[in-house]
Amino acid sequence: MIVFQLPFLFGVPILEKLALPLAPIFVGRTGSQLFLTDGKPNNPPLLLRMASDCEDIKFLSALGAFRCRILYANVSYDHMVGWRTSSVRRETELVKPPRRSLDGYKHVVDVEYCPPVSSDGPHFTPEAVKAKEAAQKEPSMQNTVEYHEIVEEEMIGGLQQLGWKKVDVSFHSAFWPFFAHNNIHVKNEWFHNAGAGVVAHVADSLKQQESSSFIAASL
């Protein structure tokens, strides 16, 4: 799950890895948080803490309070958020999605229900502490990638403790596929109307959830 993405990298993995050691310098505090280099070497980065329940803030419990958690993820053409980041998946869990849209929902190509996975939750292990220290002292691509792989695996393990409904969206057949990041939520009614089917899917999912809650309450 790559958490670091910058618009000018266009979501290309090789460019992201090459930019790892230098990007936080150019994008400031937010960049250091996205690149997992914030804080002292022995302190877990903010995003890892947000994939768990910390002593002071219960991030995961707050997410768990929702009856339903749905992730809408662009499988391609999203220059801001990559597919495995937005769908909380490992690289090995990315399977080529269908190219046909679901009936009634143009560009929505797949829906997967992922039950909770038992785990002790994410930990900032001694291995991660050592890797972070190395990445901060000598920000080479090798050191930084090694550190990120350790922390990202911990983050995925933390988030997968909750159940998720994952909806994959593909704008490969849209007139402007490179607008995928804005199309998926129809940022502009005229320029990004390719995402109308996705919005319809969101609306129907909410209606179905409300209907299920009403039936359960009646029983």
Task: State the CB neighbour count (10 A cutoff) for residue 180.
Answer: 26
Taking residues 141-154, report their average pLDDT: 83
What is the reported pTM?
0.82
Residue 127: domain span: 7-218
pLDDT at 213 (0 to 100): 65
Residue 100 lies in a domain: yes
Q: Could you give the 3-state DSSP secondary structure of residue 175?
A: coil
- Domains held by the chain: number: 1
The pLDDT value given to residue 214: 54
Report yes or no on 2 lying in a domain. no
| pLDDT of residue 159 exceeding 90 | yes
Residue 1 located in a structural domain:
no
Structural domain contains residue 127: yes
Structure confidence by residue, pLDDT tens digits, 168-211: 999 999 999 999 999 999 999 999 999 999 999 999 999 988 87
Percent of the chain exceeding pLDDT 70 equals 83
Domain assignment present for 119? yes
- Across residues 143-163, what is the average pLDDT? 88
Q: Is 32 domain-assigned?
A: yes
Q: What is the mean pLDDT of residues 63-85?
A: 91
Spatial contact of 82 and 75, defined as CB atoms under 8 Å apart:
no
Residues recorded for the chain: 219
**Confidence class of residue 69 from pLDDT cuts 50, 70 and 90?**
very high
Q: What is the rounded average pLDDT for all residues in the chain? A: 84
Residues 6 or more apart in contact with residue 38 via CB below 8 angstroms: 29, 32, 45, 46
